[in-house]
Amino acid sequence: MTRDEVIKLAIDAGLIPDWETMTNKNVGNLERFAALVAAAEREAFAAQTVQLVRDAVAEAKAAEREACAKLCEAEEQRILSKQSGRDFDQVDANLRMIACILPDIADAIRARGEQ
């Protein structure tokens, strides 16, 4: 912000009546005040921006956890759906064991968001 802009804002705000009553001391004080206000605004904006980014990251992590958990559940259902079909006997015993633990894996993935 330029010196003239600071002075104009001070006049507009009623801090000083007009240009003629300005002294170098007044101008210096106003410039310091304007710098303090600008710094406070920057800090507030930075804090808001950091919080927005933190919130967005938390939401993205939660969505990714949920997507992974749903993949586990879908794979469990895919394996178990073969149980009713005639080809279930051909399903590897290891796959059947995996199908049994997939719900626990899904729960563990979701629980990570609660830590």
Percent of the chain at pLDDT exceeding 90? 41
Sketch the domain layout of the chain as residue ranges: 3-114
- pLDDT band of residue 102 (cuts 50, 70, 90) is very high
The whole-model pTM stands at 0.61
Taking only the tens place, the pLDDT of each residue in 48-61 is 999 999 999 999 99
Cβ–Cβ under 8 Å, residues 16 and 22: yes
Integer Cα distance of 40 and 33 in angstroms: 11
Q: How far apart are CA 86 and CA 108, in angstroms?
A: 32
**pLDDT class for 11, splitting at 50, 70, 90?**
confident
Within 10 angstroms of residue 37's Cβ, the number of other Cβ atoms is 13
